[in-house]
Structure 1
C-alpha cells in the first residue's frame, strides 16, 4: 500500500463560524457538499463537517507542523471574534508548540520541530 494522504474530519458546533475561523487562520476553503468543506494550506488538507458531537469535539486533537512558531502565534493572537483559546508558545525537547482550541473545542497542536 502506498499512502498519498490522510485527512481528518473536524466537527463544527457552528459551521459558518468555523468556516470563517479557518479562513482567518489562512486556509483556503472549498465546498465539497452542502455539509462539508475542505480546507487547504500548502500540501495539507482537512474536512470541516456540519456535524457536532461535544464528546468527539472535546477529544479531537490534530497536529499542524509549521516552519515558524512565532509567526503562527502572532497570527493566532491577532484573530478576534471567535470562541477560541490558546496558550503561549511552550518549549519541548522536540521543538515548540502552541495549543489552540478551535471554535468547537477541537485541540490543535501547532508545532515547530527542532531542526
Structure 2
C-alpha cells in the first residue's frame, strides 16, 4: 500500500500576501477557490514536487507562523540560494551539515522553510 504525502496546510494571516510570496519563491498556483465567506482554498506546488501546500481561510486551526522547518530538496544549493535571492527572498547563507547543505527562509508570517542539498557541498564538490 502506498501512502503519499500530497498536501500540507500552511497557516497564514493574509492569504493574498502569502500567495504572492510563495509565487515569488517559485511555487505554481494550482487552485484558488473561495468556497464561502468562511472558507478559501489556495493550493501551490513547488516546481518538480509531488506535494503541495494549502493556504487559505478556514483550513487549519494552527496559528499563523507556527509551522517550522518545512523542507524542500534541491540538486544545487548555491543555485537555489542565488535564485531565491534573485527573487527578492531573504535567505540565510549556505550552512553545511554532515547530512546536507542548507539555506533557510521564512514567509511573511514567520513559517520557516529549509532548502536542502542532500549531498553536502564538501562531498559533492570536494573539500572546500
Give the TM-score normalised by the residue count of structure 2.
0.74
Give the TM-score normalised by the residue count of structure 1.
0.81
Matching residue of 2:109:
104
CA RMSD in angstroms, aligned pairs only:
2.4
> If you compute each CA radius of gyration, which structure gives the higher value, 1 or 2?
2
Tell me the distance in 1 between the aligned counterparts of 2:63 and 2:31. 26
Matching residue of 1:38:
43
The number of residues matched between the two structures is 112
Q: CA deviation at 1:93?
A: 0.4
Q: Please say which of residues 52-61 and 11-20 is displaced more in the overlay.
A: 52-61
Tell me the distance in 2 between the aligned counterparts of 1:26 and 1:59. 19
Question: Is the contact between residue 57 and residue 105 of structure 1 (CA under 8 Å) also seen in structure 2?
Answer: yes
Q: Unpaired segments of 5 or more residues in structure 2? A: 35-39
Tell me the distance in 1 between the aligned counterparts of 2:20 and 2:28. 10
Secondary structure at the counterpart of residue 17 of structure 1: helix
Tell me the distance in 2 between the aligned counterparts of 1:22 and 1:110. 14
Q: CA deviation at 1:24?
A: 1.2
Tell me the distance in 2 between the aligned counterparts of 1:2 and 1:54. 27
Q: Unpaired segments of 5 or more residues in structure 1? A: none
